């Protein structure tokens, strides 16, 4: 692995640093954090850092953490529908 590996934490709406994003956490694109670009040849200075998906055909330009989406769980979005009820490309609109 490269030396400039990106580590991410999720901050809730109240500003609390709640969780370190791990390799198994899912994005709205349905791919895991480990399937997104997290290694960089140089330390990036621009913010926010875009963590694009590396999966073939995926249009995800930056990892979007889904609360409680780790492993095999299927969490609900703010709209109360599951991840499977949303489009797989930004802006991940609910289809219900």
Mean pLDDT of 62-71: 69
Site of tokens 């330390």? 43
Instruction: Give the C-alpha distances (Å, rounded to integers) separating 35 from 32, 80, 87, 94.
Output: 5, 26, 18, 23
91 Cα distance to chain centroid: 13
Greater model confidence, 7 or 58 = 58
Q: Is the distance from CB of 8 to CB of 18 less than 8 angstroms?
A: no
- 36 pairs with which residues across the strands? 53
Q: 16 lies in which domain range?
A: 1-96
Number of domains forming the structure of the chain: 1
Give the whole-number percent of the chain exceeding pLDDT 90: 11
**pLDDT of 74 higher than 80:** no
From the list 51, 56, 59, the residue with the least C-alpha distance to 91 is 59
Chain segment 15-61, per-residue pLDDT in tens = 777 777 888 888 888 899 999 998 888 878 888 888 999 999 998 99
């Amino acid at each position: 692995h490269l030396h400039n590996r990106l580590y991410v934490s999720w901050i809730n709406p109240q500003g609390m640093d709640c969780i370190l994003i791990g390799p198994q956490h899912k994005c709205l694109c349905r791919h895991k954090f480990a399937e997104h670009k997290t290694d960089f040849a140089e330390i990036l200075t621009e913010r926010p850092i875009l963590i694009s998906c590396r999966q073939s055909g995926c249009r995800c330009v930056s990892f979007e953490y889904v609360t409680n989406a780790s492993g095999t769980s299927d969490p609900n979005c703010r709209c109360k529908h599951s991840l499977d009820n949303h489009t797989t490309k930004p802006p991940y609109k609910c289809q219900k």
